[in-house]
Amino acid sequence: QVQLVESGGGLVQAGGSLRLSCAASGFTFSRYAMGWFRQAPGKAREFVGAITVSGSNTYYTDSVKGRFTISRDNSKNTMYLQMNSLRPEDTAVYYCAARWYNGVTLVAYTANEYEYWGQGTQVTVSS
């Protein structure tokens, strides 16, 4: 049974930091590119960043570049999202997602390209 379980969300003041984790099971984690998305109330789910199967390359949306860092540990079947200098506009439910690496496309940027999803974890940044 495929599972992605996010953890680490919470309430933090603006300027603070949080580290999210995404624990994977039920599939070969090291063969899947991974992504982070977020969804704020009343807004569409948006791409935050992604990481290649090996972890050697990461990609971010412009609004989080320089503040967020994605990493993965294939030996632990876990992906991470380190979030620094948090802003109130970062408030959202954060989701991790997995996409099979087909040998061509390193990562994907749209939600419908990902096959597996976690249940999400709430991040709230107070001003």
The pLDDT assigned to 104 comes to 82
Phi, psi at residue 113, to the nearest 5°? -90, -5
Computed over every residue of the chain, the mean pLDDT equals: 97
2: helix, strand or coil: coil
101-127 mean pLDDT: 93
The pLDDT assigned to 103 comes to 81
Burial of 87 (0-12, 13-18, 19+ CB in 10 A): middle
Split at pLDDT 50, 70, 90, the class of 94 is very high
Integer Cα distance of 29 and 13 in angstroms:
33
Q: Tens digits of per-residue pLDDT, 104-116?
A: 888 899 999 999 9
The pLDDT assigned to 33 comes to 97
Split at pLDDT 50, 70, 90, the class of 102 is confident
* Residue among 12, 43, 34 at smallest CA distance from 122: 12
% of the chain residues with pLDDT over 90: 95
Integer Cα distance of 127 and 120 in angstroms:
23
Q: At 68, list the tokens.
A: 């967020």
Q: Where are the alpha helices (DSSP H) in 15-111?
A: none
Q: Tens digits of per-residue pLDDT, 47-74?
A: 999 999 999 999 999 999 999 999 999 9
% of the chain residues with pLDDT over 70: 100
